Amino acid sequence: MKEKNAKIRETAERQIRELFRQAESARQELADRYVKLAWSLSTKTKTPIPRELKRRFCRKCLSYFVPGRNCRVRVSKGKVVCYCLNCRTFRRFVYK
Ligand SMILES: [Zn+2]
């Protein structure tokens, strides 16, 4: 059973990465849909979204971040602060 879960997660992670890759070149509405799909895949299969992709979208409204368009990015004291212009929430990331 454990092995089966690992397999499911592996596939899910691959799909999540693929969705984000496509979101990168898609227009906003489509990119948002890809993020929502990736998110539901992640919650359904309990697969964590890869760290580097976590900062690419808003955790609250699940919109794909396009810096300068729907989010503002600031770097201060070793932290990255993303301000979502859709739902007006801040997200902080520790920069490593
Ligand atoms: Zn948002």
pLDDT digits (tens, 9 = 90+) for 22-78: 999 999 999 999 999 999 999 999 999 999 999 899 999 999 999 889 999 998 888
- Residue 64 CA, ligand 1 centroid: distance in Å: 9
Ligand 1 centre and the CA of 75: distance in Å? 18
Give CA torsion, residues 82, 85, 86, 88, to 10 deg. Answer: 70
Distance from the CA of 18 to the center of ligand 1, in angstroms? 22
> Could you tell me the residue ranges of all domains in the chain?
2-94
Report pLDDT for 95.
Answer: 65
- Max alpha carbon distance in the chain (Å)? 45
Summarize the confidence of residues 69-89 as an average pLDDT: 91
Which residues place a Cβ less than 5 A from the ion ligand 1?
A: 58, 60-61, 84, 86-87
**Torsion, CA 76, CA 80, CA 83, CA 87, rounded to 10:** -150
